[in-house]
Amino acid sequence: TTLTFHGFSGLDLVGILDFLTAFPGLTYAIFWCRSEIDAKMFSYLALQKVVLLVQRPPQILVKVLWRLELVETSFMMEVHSYADLFMWVVVLSLSLAGIHRVARL
């Protein structure tokens, strides 16, 4: 069964990207649950800042362009998927690097 959303259907690049995004999200959740409180707080703050500064701006811009019918639905969905994946890569990199120890000093 394929789902259709504004003429966009099937499991293609966006579906694969969304599937790949689940792995860093799950890795982050496991890391967060097993971390000390300092690491948890740092990684959560990193998550907040990366979402606000890296992920959301391109998504909002493309959503506005999509509403104005300047970009197609498939392009909007690809940008959302790439932004989500990039956000998780940056957050995991910062969290797993142990930078919270340096920030505590």
pTM for the predicted model, two decimal places: 0.74
Predicted confidence (pLDDT) per residue in 7-22, tens digit: 555 556 777 777 788 8
Q: Position of tokens 């990684």? A: 43
Burial of 88 (0-12, 13-18, 19+ CB in 10 A): buried
What mean pLDDT, rounded, does the chain reach? Answer: 82
- The whole-angstrom separation of Cα 51 and Cα 66 is 21
What is the average pLDDT across 2-7?
A: 54
In DSSP notation, 31-71 reads HHHHS-HHHHHHHHHHHHHHIIIIIHHHHHHHHHHHHTTSS
> Rg of the chain over CA atoms, in angstroms?
16
Counting residues of the chain whose pLDDT is more than 70, the rounded percentage is 82
Task: Look at residue 105 in the predicted model and tell me its pLDDT.
Answer: 46
Give 4 or 26, the one with higher predicted confidence. 26
